[in-house]
Structure 1
């Protein structure tokens, strides 16, 4: 009677691996998010509704999500351009530029906020050039978008870059040989294959921007109803020992972010099926 051949696995079996996975994700993700929901149960519905629909809170929602969306869209466009240049061209200092893309990852957000504020303030290098044109960058919603664009760019570039590297040049050459122009080749051949990666990069940049605090708090000016973001408002309520109010606002942010991520992921899955089909 021969022995059954068993495949040796480096990692433990599915049951043990799945158990560790569920435990790890529960400790790091599920339990903290559950605590946010549990903390809001101390409020009645009227108290909860009053806390999350206050005029100042609603203004912070609009600013946070609006600026995050604008920054993510800007990063999607220019992140694709940066990734294209890094993949398709050779030039002196290419490795330096490639490493520079990751700088927002390594730079402390407070340092980024101080640096951006010093540049875009009215007496800064860039701000002094914009001021005569009537453009106020620092201490305005525009400054928030600039800060969120700065911290979100690497997510798009690093998501799109590997996909560009794996694209087959033969397909592009075939399209050109059949008489397609460069723009038509990009629009009909290259871009559809990049859409899933672009959606993934957009989602990551958008999610990162929504929760950003350190780099924004310096350049925004933190003026209620004008440049006050929701994370800062949550911190303000925590400093005032209004824990229930802070968690109520955080819960609304969590729900809206989760819905937006679900929609984006659904679009990404649909795009993947279209490309693979």
Structure 2
């Protein structure tokens, strides 16, 4: 029969698909649709002008630039931490493993206050850096970067750790028997296998960082055109009852974030055959 299709081995496909689509529509698609439609109440020209104001563009550049830089820094740091936790046994290892999850459990406002106290000009780290090197961390874009690295690092560690644990040590030993150095084995055996997980961790760290609010506003100083992030600008417009303007900035953030995550997903798909090989 031309219309015959083999039955699925898993029962309840139609019901589960319907529940999934209903959940996605109610929880994800409807709020995003409302966000996409609200800015056009101002008209196309006014909505575009609301997004392209110099203050908005500066906030978007800081939010996305710092989020991308923080995620890029989290990748090697997270790989190093995951490598130490998986490949070595040392006193206090369980304590160090538990501390990795602290940014998950710590309220973002508490993290912001702690980072500000640490890197402020009179803080434990900020004062010596300012006195000896003339570096200022808090209330500058560098403070924003440090806060975003802090909140995004656990995503990379927890994404890479199980993949690294399942990676057989025999592959590195085989590379060594074939004459490869430690650096060559790392570059040609370990990193290709970890590349999809590293990209996943990068995407998760970026997604968390680009919308981070609580831990950033304390250490940033919130200076317009300098250290003001896009989520804070949305809150300011909401306090001014400019709901359409706030939705316009939110829509711009949504489009930019979706583009970055789409590129990360595409790169991850290209790397999967290489990792399996």
Q: TM-score scaled to structure 1, two decimals? A: 0.95
Q: Does 1:184 align with 2:184?
A: yes
Determine the structure 2 residue equivalent to 1:124.
123
Residue 269 of structure 1, CA deviation: 0.5
1:205-224 correspondence runs (5 A): 205-224=205-224
Determine the structure 2 residue equivalent to 1:3.
none
Determine the structure 2 residue equivalent to 1:89.
88
Determine the structure 2 residue equivalent to 1:274.
274
| Counterparts of 1:97 and 1:18, CA distance in 2 | 41
Determine the structure 1 residue equivalent to 2:110.
111
| Counterparts of 1:28 and 1:108, CA distance in 2 | 24
Residue 7 of structure 1, CA deviation: 10
Determine the structure 1 residue equivalent to 2:235.
235
Are the equivalent residues in 1 in contact too, given 2:51–2:252 (CA < 8 A)?
yes
Determine the structure 2 residue equivalent to 1:165.
165
Residue 179 of structure 1, CA deviation: 1.1
Q: Does 1:246 align with 2:246?
A: yes
Q: Does 1:76 align with 2:79?
A: no
Residue 44 of structure 1, CA deviation: 1.2
1:8-23 correspondence runs (5 A): 13-23=12-22
* 4+ long deviations beyond 4 Å: 6-9
| Counterparts of 1:112 and 1:28, CA distance in 2 | 29
Determine the structure 2 residue equivalent to 1:102.
101
Determine the structure 2 residue equivalent to 1:143.
143
Residue 8 of structure 1, CA deviation: 9.6
Q: Does 1:64 align with 2:67?
A: no
| Counterparts of 1:129 and 1:83, CA distance in 2 | 30
Residue 43 of structure 1, CA deviation: 1.8
Structure 1: segments with no counterpart, 5+ residues: 1-5
Are the equivalent residues in 1 in contact too, given 2:194–2:275 (CA < 8 A)?
no
Structure 2: segments with no counterpart, 5+ residues: 1-6
Q: Secondary structure at the match of 2:41?
A: coil
Residue 18 of structure 1, CA deviation: 1.2
Deviates more, 1:222-231 or 1:123-132: 123-132
| Counterparts of 2:70 and 2:32, CA distance in 1 | 26
| Counterparts of 1:105 and 1:26, CA distance in 2 | 28
Determine the structure 1 residue equivalent to 2:4.
none
Provide closer, same or farther for how the CA distance between residues 22 and 146 of structure 1 changes in structure 2, counting only shifts above 3 A. same
| Counterparts of 2:89 and 2:21, CA distance in 1 | 45
Are the equivalent residues in 1 in contact too, given 2:68–2:206 (CA < 8 A)?
yes
